[in-house]
Chains A and B, each alone.
Chain A
Amino acid sequence: MTDLPGPLLLTSTGVTGLVVLLLLSVGGAHVARRRGERRDAARRAELTPLVYTLLDGEQTAEALADAPAVLDDVVLHLLPQLRGSDRQVLRDLLVARGVVDRASEQLSARAPWRRGRAAMLLGATGSTRHTPDLVTLLEDRSPDVRSAATRALGKTGDVAAVPDLLAALTTGRAVPSGIVGMALLDLGTPALPALRTALDSGTAPARALSASLLGLHGDLPATAALTAALDDAGAPAEVRLAAAGALGRIGAPQATGALARVTVLAVEPALRAAAAEALGRIGDPDSVPALAAGMSAADLRVRTACADALASITPEGRDRLRALGALDGPAAPAARAALDAAPLGSARPLAGAR
């Protein structure tokens, strides 16, 4: 047996004891957490059918007002997946349980995660009552809270928030365009009139995002305004670029003239390429001469976009590509590559009547 000096023995015993205590407390905490999770899962399983009966009209929100807090998890999980009267019933339940009032108070909490969580919850309820509070949070000092408030505004379905959401793109504490775009998409087609208005006025990022979203919605009534934005040589490049993409997505042949002009005459290669791509999506045979002219552009992106667009216009575009591919010159490689990559098929129908 080793003889250790007294103080060293005491120290090593103490350290060993502390380690054992630490291990025991970690193990105990783990067991307690697992037990708590199992209890919550059991309660959730017990309470979930009550939510279903509530949606079935057999239960009242008041009857569930005092149920354990884990019920809120079930409701908050279901809420974004339901709409109409189902959503209203769940919203009333959260109000009856005081969840909405508590979240409203948390909007000014000190901790950013509390403010963000409260914003998400209020958005999930789909209530417009808290729109002004959420709009205020668009300028929160925390970027996470600003993003949460942005998404929450989209979930509320309150189209009155569209100008505020677009303004959030360019404030001192700006929200990323992708997040604003998702919120505006969540608002759905009711937001289209406000987006059409925003296309004509406002900051360049707001106009560009509005144009892109109008295109994603395939908003045919916006064709004239988008065409005007594309044709406006003084408009910011990002707006014209977004307008070209949107016109392609809408697929309206009314825009063929403007897109053809931009394909041939615009200075920026990226804009010319975007216009050519849009012409390909529209598929109007009248655009073939402009696309063929674009094939002699100095910039490879423009030539490639024009060639791909011609390949998608049958038979006129492909006939022109074959002719270009047979000649010498910078257009030939792009023409041959586009023909090789083009799927066999017939022309797509035009989306809008002239």
Chain B
Amino acid sequence: MSHVLVVDDDPVIADLVAFRLGRLGLEVSVESDGEAGLAAARQLRPDLVVLDWMMPRMNGLEVCAALRSDADPGLARTPVLLLTAKAQEPDLERGFAAGATDFVAKPFSTRELISRVTAALPPGSIPA
């Protein structure tokens, strides 16, 4: 079963994303700040990280950059999907430069999120 780590300081959004992804048959973990998210990623080695940008302690870009520069090559390659209200052109540039795999702009559609999560995971990750 594929494992997705959701990191968002808004508990309602984090829970909603976790709920929808859990319904797809994915294993989901939730963290509420960047520092805890990075620690969880190192411990859990998820298949995908859904990451908010603006968070306390460590923002999403910092987490993303830390993952990309991790000594563990497997973790450094983990797809990162930024779920963020910062989705203007310069933000996209900064996000991709930090190593984001894809973006979902807030306000978001859960259907779009699911499509992008599905695309970011290896084929067959989501049970039929």
The complex places the Cα of A338 from the Cα of B127 at a distance, in Å, of 59
A82 and B107 contact, CB distance less than 8 A: yes
- Cβ of A83: which chain B residues have Cβ within 8 Å of it? 107-109
A85 touches B19 (CB 8 A): no
Q: How far is the CB of A234 from chain B (nearest CB, A)?
A: 34
In the bound complex, do residue B20 and residue A56 qualify as a contact, i.e. CB atoms below 8 Å apart?
yes
Are A52's CB and B89's CB within 8 A?
no
Cβ of A81 < 8 Å from any Cβ of B? yes
Contact between chains at A84 and B112 (CB < 8 Å): yes
Once the chains are docked, how many angstroms separate the CA of A84 from the CA of B106?
11
Q: Which residue of A lies closest to B19 (CB)?
A: A52
B20 CB contacts on chain A under 8 angstroms? 52, 55-56
Least Cβ–Cβ distance between B55 and chain A, in angstroms: 15
In the complex, A52→B23 CA distance in Å? 11
Q: Is the CB of B107 within 8 A of A81?
A: yes
How many chain A residues touch B (Cβ–Cβ < 8 Å)? Answer: 17
Chain B interface, DSSP helix/strand/loop, else mixed: helix
Interface residue stretch chosen among A72-80, A114-122, A271-279, A322-330: A72-80
Answer whether residue B13 sits at the interface, using C-beta atoms and an 8 A cutoff: yes
Answer whether residue B110 sits at the interface, using C-beta atoms and an 8 A cutoff.
yes
In the assembled complex, B57 has its CB within 8 A of some CB on chain A: no
Q: How far is the CB of B18 from chain A (nearest CB, A)?
A: 9
> Are B16 and A55 within 8 A (Cβ)?
yes
Do A74 and B12 touch (CB < 8 A)? yes
**Distance of A86 Cα from B12 Cα, bound (Å):** 14
Nearest residue, chain A, Cβ from B107: A83
The smallest C-beta distance from A55 to any residue of chain B, in angstroms, reads 6
- Interface residues in A212-249 by Cβ distance below 8 A to B read 218
- Contact status of A77 and B112, CB under 8 A, knowing A55-B20, A56-B20, A218-B89: no
CA A52 to CA B14, docked complex, whole Å: 12
Q: A55-B20, A56-B20 are in contact. Are A84 and B13 (CB under 8 A)?
A: no
Instruction: List, in ascending order, chain A residues with CB within 8 A of B112's CB.
Output: 84
What residues of B have a CB within 8 angstroms of the CB of A77 in the complex? 12
Encoded as 1 (CB less than 8 Å from any A CB) or 0, chain B from 15 to 26 comes to: 110011001000
Complex CA–CA separation, A87 to B109 (angstroms): 8
Q: Is A85 a contact partner of B111 (Cβ separation < 8 A)?
A: yes
Tell me which residues across on chain A come within 8 A of B111, comparing CB atoms.
Answer: 84-86
Nearest B residue to A55, CB-CB: B110
- CB-based contact A52/B15 at 8 Å: yes
Whole-angstrom CA separation of A81 from B84 in the bound complex: 10
The minimal Cβ–Cβ distance linking B16 to chain A, given in whole angstroms, is 6
Tell which of A52, A80, A83, A85 has the most Cβ of chain B within 10 Å. Answer: A52
A60 interface hit (Cβ, 8 Å): no
Docked-complex contact B12 and A82, CB < 8 angstroms: no
Shortest distance between the CB of A47 and any CB in chain B (Å): 12
CB contacts (< 8 Å) of B16 on chain A: these are: 52, 55, 78
Q: Mark B94-127, 1 if CB is under 8 A from A, else 0.
A: 0000000000001111111000000000000000
A82 B109 Cβ-Cβ under 8 A: yes
Cβ-defined partner of B12 (8 Å) among A48, A87, A218: A48
Q: Does the CB pair B19–A78 fall under 8 Å?
A: no
Give complex CA distance A77, B14 in Å.
13
Cα of A48 to Cα of B109 in the assembled complex, Å: 18
Cα distance A74–B112 when bound, in Å? Answer: 22
| A77–B12 alpha-carbon span in the complex (Å) | 8
- Asked if A172 is an interface residue, CB under 8 A from chain B, the answer is no
Q: Closest CB-CB distance, A173 to chain B, in whole Å? A: 30
Instruction: A81-B13, A81-B107 given; name 13 further pairs at CB < 8 Å.
Output: A52-B16, A52-B20, A55-B16, A74-B12, A77-B12, A80-B107, A81-B108, A82-B108, A82-B110, A84-B109, A85-B109, A86-B109, A87-B107
A-B contact pairs, 23 of them (CB 8 A): A48-B12, A49-B19, A52-B15, A52-B16, A52-B19, A55-B110, A56-B19, A56-B20, A56-B23, A78-B12, A78-B16, A81-B10, A81-B107, A82-B107, A82-B110, A83-B107, A83-B108, A83-B109, A84-B109, A84-B112, A85-B109, A86-B111, A87-B107
Give residues in A with beta carbon < 8 Å to B: 48-49, 52, 55-56, 74, 77-78, 80-87, 218
